Amino acid sequence: MKTVVVGAGAMGTFIAARLFMSGHEVWLLEVNDKRVTKIKEKGICLEENDDINNLKFSTITSDPKEIGVADAVIIMVKAFDTEDAVKLVLPAISEGTIVLTLQNGMGNIELIRKYISKERVMAGTTSHGALLIHDGHVRHTGVGDTIIGALSADSEKHTGKLKALFDASGINTSISDDANSLLWGKLLINMSINPLTAIMRIKNGRIVELPHLVEIIKQMLVESLEVATKIGVNIPYDNPLEKIIKVCRNTSQNCSSMFQDILAGRRTEINQINGAIVTYGLQCGIETPVNKMLTELVMSIEQIRPVL
């Protein structure tokens, strides 16, 4: 399959490298011209365990017209850049193109569907960890689950194609019949790990070693599960806390994307993660003080970061 990965950050670069290594035609669409130039010249370096793979990867561009029509498009940009990314990649999308979001946060599907029909849009989650050392150089820091789901009966026929694509690249993937449940499951994980690692400046694995942080997660879960129940969402985990702890341990050496953003002085996705819980809570009359506090703390760190 001819695949376009939109966004050459840590996870976008990791996925593009894995697809490339499995023999697929894969393009990276990236708006940062310096990043485009560097990867064209130097390729991609993928570190995994003790292996270093130097790939002669040159199919990266900021101009989607260079790509032609794709079979699949994978959106990997930050949630606040989703709409701009979809508008940018439109020239590579035809009536037969599948569009998959593997992003963090909520609201991405709604933005994508403004431009792409529902039967061609799919949602997914991955808990693989990746750290961008510098442009084009990524370290795979944790193995996790990758799950994809269709948004309608008409798009279910595409799930097998994407599963085969990822499985062939070594990103073992399963299929869910409830995409909304899938996204909420990932939201619970992100809302627990990302802000705590960003505020405390710790790797994922340290969370489970600090009982007070686990207690904060428990309080966040009480709020979030009440909201989910109110709006009729089925959570995909029988024991969400157990799942979160497992992800922390499986990605123990990973620096969350939000932690990486704070260290780099970039904007975070806090409004699309914990802030989404706050918004849903307001809409259904449920107070979410712990999620609100963490949202405000991370937003405050964003504001002071340049002078630290």
pLDDT-derived band at 211, boundaries 50, 70, 90? very high
CA distance 83 to 172: 28
**Second CATH level (architecture) for the domain 181-307:** Orthogonal Bundle (1.10)
CA 284 and chain centroid, separation: 26
pLDDT-derived band at 308, boundaries 50, 70, 90? very low
Q: Closest by alpha carbon to 190, among 90, 72, 270?
A: 270
Which class for 215: exposed (0-12), middle (13-18), buried (19 or more C-beta within 10 A)?
A: exposed
DSSP H helices in the chain:
10-21, 33-42, 82-89, 108-112, 159-168, 179-200, 204-207, 211-231, 240-250, 257-264, 274-284, 289-304
Q: pTM (2 decimals)? A: 0.90
Q: Closest by alpha carbon to 189, among 139, 258, 122, 113?
A: 258
**Which tokens hold the place of 16?**
């593009």
pLDDT, tens digit (0-9, with 9 covering 90-100), for 37-79: 999 999 999 999 889 999 999 999 999 999 999 999 999 999 9
pLDDT-derived band at 274, boundaries 50, 70, 90? very high
pLDDT, tens digit (0-9, with 9 covering 90-100), for 147-182: 999 887 776 778 899 999 999 999 999 998 888 899
Q: Where are the domains of the chain?
A: 3-177, 181-307
What value does the mean pLDDT take over residues 8-15? 96
The confidence score (pLDDT) of residue 306 equals 55
The confidence score (pLDDT) of residue 307 equals 45
Domain 3-177 sits in CATH 3.40.50.720: yes
CA distance 115 to 84: 11
pLDDT, tens digit (0-9, with 9 covering 90-100), for 229-253: 999 999 999 999 999 999 999 888 8
